[in-house]
């Protein structure tokens, strides 16, 4: 589920910010091309409910590295406003998922944007394998000519 949410976040960012803004799912420490995003899931949780239902919580943190270091705070605040809108609803496997608890901090010229995606999931059972062929023998069998023969 986390990978599908990360993919949906990545697609929403690509739509909102375009291809000029790089999106990374793994931390990249060298040769950073700005502007760019890093997507992290920081505290996933799972709680079981009745039957095969589970409540999943996934808190994400997006780091935004602005292009203009001289006006980094302005650029970070503007990016955060766009993130509030584009991350409100995601399409995950064709179903809408709502982002909640959105907030952000700007620290040392880098935006840290937090959003939660909480949802119920249903764990489906693997279907039992079907029988391929079965022979049943009784007390008597029919011959090809339709007459019974004793066993």
Residue 6 to residue 24: CA distance in whole angstroms: 10
Residue 85 to residue 83: CA distance in whole angstroms: 5
Whether residue 62 contacts residue 42, with contact meaning beta carbons closer than 8 Å, is answered with no
Model confidence at 149, pLDDT cuts 50, 70, 90, reads low
Helices and strands, counts by H and E, the chain: 2, 9
- pLDDT in the model for residue 148: 59
Look at 143 and 72; give whichever has higher pLDDT: 72
- Give the pLDDT confidence of 18-40 residue by residue, as tens digits: 988 999 987 766 677 889 999 99
Total-model pTM: 0.76
pLDDT at position 147 over 90: no
- Give the pLDDT confidence of 123-139 residue by residue, as tens digits: 777 776 776 776 777 66
- pLDDT in the model for residue 50: 84
**What pairs with residue 45 in β-bridges?**
57
Q: Which two tokens stand for residue 123?
A: 């764990």
């Amino acid at each position: 589920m986390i990978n599908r949410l990360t993919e949906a976040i990545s697609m929403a960012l690509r739509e909102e910010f375009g291809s000029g803004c790089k999106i990374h799912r793994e931390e990249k420490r060298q040769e950073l091309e700005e502007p760019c995003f890093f997507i992290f899931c920081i505290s996933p949780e799972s709680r079981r409910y009745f039957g095969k239902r589970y409540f999943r919580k996934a808190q994400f943190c997006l780091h935004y590295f602005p292009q203009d270091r001289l006006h980094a705070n302005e650029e970070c605040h503007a990016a955060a406003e766009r993130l509030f809108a584009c991350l409100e609803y995601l399409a995950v496997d064709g179903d809408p998922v709502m982002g909640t608890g959105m907030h952000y901090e700007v620290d040392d010229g880098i935006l840290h944007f937090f959003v939660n995606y909480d949802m119920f999931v249903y764990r489906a059972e693997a279907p039992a394998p079907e029988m391929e062929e079965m022979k049943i023998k009784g007390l008597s069998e029919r011959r090809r000519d339709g007459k019974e023969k004793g066993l």
